[in-house]
Amino acid sequence: MPELNADLVASVILILVKIGVFFAVCMTLLAYVTLVERRLLAFFQERHGPDRVGWQGLLQPLADGIKMFLKEDITVSGADKVVYILAPIVYVATALMVFTVIPFGNTIWPETMEIGGRVYNFTIASANRGIIADVNVAILIVFAISSIGTYGLIMAGWGSNNKYALLGGVRATAAMISYELAAGLTLVGIIMTTGTMSMMEIVEFQSGYWFGVIPKWFCFSQPLAFVIFLIAAFAETGRTPFDFTECENELVAGYQMEYSSMKFGLFYMAEYGHVIAASALIVTFFLGGWQGPFIDLAVLKYFLPIIYFSVKTFVLVFFFIWVRATFPRFRYDLLMKLGWKVLLPAALLNILITPFVMMLFGRM
């Protein structure tokens, strides 16, 4: 029993180490994705981006953070203070919680390690895997958390006691509910094919190649689901061309208009957190996750999968920014029409097609 307890303690410590490293990396990414977007948008629009604070503007996120902390924190009169304060906390927390079930690598250290002359055998299954919590209903957890994120926006609109802010929150709720339904149905085809809701097992299912060349990623075997989920991700994150939650010409900035100082900063961070989370989910479900060549080699297997996952996710984040610089905003009625009359029937059609494809080609 003492041995088992020691192994269990070692497993828990390693999981806490993963959480700490992930949190540090994630908070750094949230800061610097803002800089990446500003520089890329400047490049697309043929102008200079932020390049004064630090070399090539690398200290600009730090300067922005200091500015947010030093600004006066104002709570508007007539606001529901509890709801008003909780709203940004709920929204940013849901953006970070999604990452707990997203696999970012395979094995990140050996199953047994010698520490201080004693060999520890990790007793928690996910202790040495590239994931914080490997659960068999991860997909349900993702959608449960993302649904809670909707409350953050409607709480901000309601708690601010402002009609324009409330309208932004209501718009966000309507759009998120519409597109969450379509996004959820697209994953039914993947669940039918893999027979699991574990995201680690879904990534492992996408290993190998067709004809020795084409990766067995679901973007190739489930192309309709991939396109629907990608469009739904833009609507879920409130990004252009679906940024109706905060379109300045109609809502005077939307749900966060009555926020200042670091409360506004949390909403700003949460938006980019949701973009990174959406990109990571697309990579996990449709682009093979951490799969790639040479991941089984002795030394490379510990860090090469993490590199593959990071590169794929960054490419998707770049795509989010590229779309923002390219497309104008839709009309709101077209947003709802697209969600209910186009994407939802298309997602249902994908579910109907999947069993026939499985009968013809097996489990793909």
Indicate if the alpha-carbon torsion angle 279, 281, 286, 287 is positive or negative: positive
| Position 190 confidence tier, pLDDT thresholds 50, 70, 90 | very high
CA within 13 Å, CB half, 75: 11
DSSP letter assigned to residue 114: E
pLDDT of residue 1: 42
The 10s digit of each residue's pLDDT in 198-254 is 999 999 999 888 888 889 999 998 999 999 999 999 888 888 888 777 766 666 777
Which residue type sits at 254? G
Indicate if the alpha-carbon torsion angle 96, 68, 65, 257 is positive or negative: positive
What's the whole-number average pLDDT of the chain?
A: 85
For helices 261-286 and 304-326, the axis angle rounded to 10 degrees is 120
The 10s digit of each residue's pLDDT in 90-131 is 999 998 899 989 998 887 777 776 666 667 666 666 677 788
pLDDT at 83 > cutoff 60: yes
Dihedral angle computed from the Cα positions of residues 48, 53, 57 and 62, in that order, rounded to the nearest 10 degrees: -130
pLDDT of residue 316: 95
**How far is 101 from 330, CA to CA, in rounded Å?**
33
Determine contact, residues 339/180, Cβ cutoff 8 Å. Answer: no
Number of CB atoms found within 10 A of residue 223's CB: 12
pLDDT at 7 > cutoff 80: no
β 129-130/112-115 pair status: unpaired
231 φ/ψ angles, rounded to the nearest 5 degrees: -65, -45
Task: Please state the rounded mean pLDDT for residues 148-172.
Answer: 86
Closest CA to 111 of 93, 94, 129: 129
pLDDT of residue 86: 92
The 10s digit of each residue's pLDDT in 326-363 is 988 878 888 888 989 999 999 999 999 998 888 876 66
Number of CB atoms found within 10 A of residue 340's CB: 14
**How far is 218 from 262, CA to CA, in rounded Å?**
40
pLDDT at 169 > cutoff 70: yes
**How far is 203 from 309, CA to CA, in rounded Å?**
11
| Position 317 confidence tier, pLDDT thresholds 50, 70, 90 | very high
pLDDT above 70 coverage of the chain, percent: 91
328 φ/ψ angles, rounded to the nearest 5 degrees: -80, 170
pLDDT of residue 3: 46
Question: Got the DSSP string for 21-65?
Answer: HHHHHHHHHHHHHHHHHHHHHHHHTTS--S-SSSGGGTTHHHHHH
Top pLDDT among 305 and 248 is at 305
